[in-house]
Structure 1
Amino acid sequence: MPDAAPMPVLPDPSLLIVDDDRAFGERLARAMQKRGFVTTCAESVAAASEAVKAHPPAFAVVDLRLEDGDGLQVVRSLRSIRPEARAIVLTGYGNIASAVIAVKAGAVDYLSKPADVDEIEAALLQSGEKAVPPEKPMSVDQVKWEHIQRVFELSDQNLSETARRLNMHRRTLQRMLSKRAPRDVRV
């Protein structure tokens, strides 16, 4: 078995993860802890703002759309208190306009969900202007699987509601959900 890549030694490994999808936030926190980060999770703009005021982190991963507002508020707040902090914005609703707004607000990168842990770590630690593209990006099947699972979770695992939101036949969705995830599904 090959040796694992050495974890970077971070002078300040504090990482704030802001996402209203609790399961996703917890999985990401566990994955980032294994990579040497000390994580704090928040599920709202209000909770994240309190965390930033109490202990401004060196790094942040912030969902763009939260239940109580815009994740960019958290990025702006963090950058005003700790200008050298590196924040990235994650979203399931990616488009060029919101990416530009996120970077103008102080984010160092903008990633679409589902994002790979390697991509997130690379974006946080990248010292240059632009993050390096992943060597092994997610396949179309993996992205499709993650998206369906996310909508299914957001629909409280209601099959009919998920099928309606995805604009697909209920039985087709049921067959897709009964299959195993593609091999490389991440986070």
Structure 2
Amino acid sequence: MDETHDDRVLLIVEDDDALAATLCRSFERRGWSVVRAHDLDSMRAVLEQHAPSHAVVDLKLANGSSGLACVQALHAHDDEMAIVVLTGYASIATAVEAIKLGARHYLAKPANTDDIEAAFARTEGETDVDMTNRATSIKTLEWERIHETLADTGFNISETARRLGMHRRTLARKLEKQRVK
């Protein structure tokens, strides 16, 4: 294992090759050393060879696997690592779980390199975040409940459908409409 712990080594866990390549190039131009993984298993292999100080983790990885498991493993590996979670469709449930599991911040896609570096720099919450008085819609509540249950089941579609009392195909259609990434 590489025992030198440079504070500018970034691990990107992303299964979208185009996005990962773009992030890699952008961070490398800013002086970061970048390593990449596609899923939990390849991430563990990377950690055997490298000691990243920072990580960007996609919430929804290939084959329905969860980036939350990656966040948990990264935090267990190094509880000082700055971890930012990216997602194409944010929900309160997954944001809360990501932070509980050790992420420093949670960003909705599209997020650029500036957004990610700013998230790495944040070490505390903000008290001056704008509050909204808008009532939550039924669709948003449904989506958050689905996401909460998905996270509870490790993104197992069949078990999530069972727990929600809906047909698996109905759940799959709802997820397809709201493209989870």
| TM-score, scaled relative to structure 1 | 0.61
Displacement of 1:11 in angstroms is 5.0
Name the counterpart of 1:158: none
Name the counterpart of 1:17: 12
User: Structure 2 stretches of 5 or more lacking a match?
Assistant: 130-175
- Tell me how far apart the structure 1 counterparts of residues 83 and 33 of structure 2 sit (CA, whole Å): 15
- Tell me how far apart the structure 2 counterparts of residues 21 and 41 of structure 1 sit (CA, whole Å): 11
Name which of 26, 35, 38 aligns with 1:31.
Answer: 26
Displacement of 1:53 in angstroms is 3.2
- Tell me how far apart the structure 1 counterparts of residues 100 and 177 of structure 2 sit (CA, whole Å): 32
Aligned CA-pair RMSD: 2.4
The code of the aligned residue for 1:102 comes to: A
| 1:53 and 2:48 aligned | yes
Greater RCO (Cα-Cα under 8 Å, separation 6 or more): 2
The code of the aligned residue for 1:43 comes to: H
Name which of 66, 70, 88 aligns with 2:66.
Answer: 70
Identity of matched residues, %: 39
- Tell me how far apart the structure 2 counterparts of residues 37 and 90 of structure 1 sit (CA, whole Å): 19
- Tell me how far apart the structure 1 counterparts of residues 25 and 82 of structure 2 sit (CA, whole Å): 19
Aligned residues: 126
Cα distance change, pair 17–127 in 1 and its aligned pair in 2 (3 A): same
Name the counterpart of 2:114: 118
Name which of 95, 115, 135 aligns with 2:91.
Answer: 95
Name the counterpart of 1:136: none
Contact preservation (8 Å) 1:103, 1:109: yes
- Tell me how far apart the structure 2 counterparts of residues 87 and 40 of structure 1 sit (CA, whole Å): 14
Deviations 1:7-47 (A, max 9, x none): xxx95211000111001001011111111211011112211
Displacement of 1:100 in angstroms is 0.3
Contact preservation (8 Å) 2:84, 2:103: yes
- Tell me how far apart the structure 1 counterparts of residues 27 and 124 of structure 2 sit (CA, whole Å): 21
Cα distance change, pair 82–166 in 1 and its aligned pair in 2 (3 A): closer
The alignment partner of 1:15 has SS state of strand
Name the counterpart of 1:106: 102
The code of the aligned residue for 1:56 comes to: A
| TM-score, scaled relative to structure 2 | 0.63
- Tell me how far apart the structure 1 counterparts of residues 28 and 112 of structure 2 sit (CA, whole Å): 15
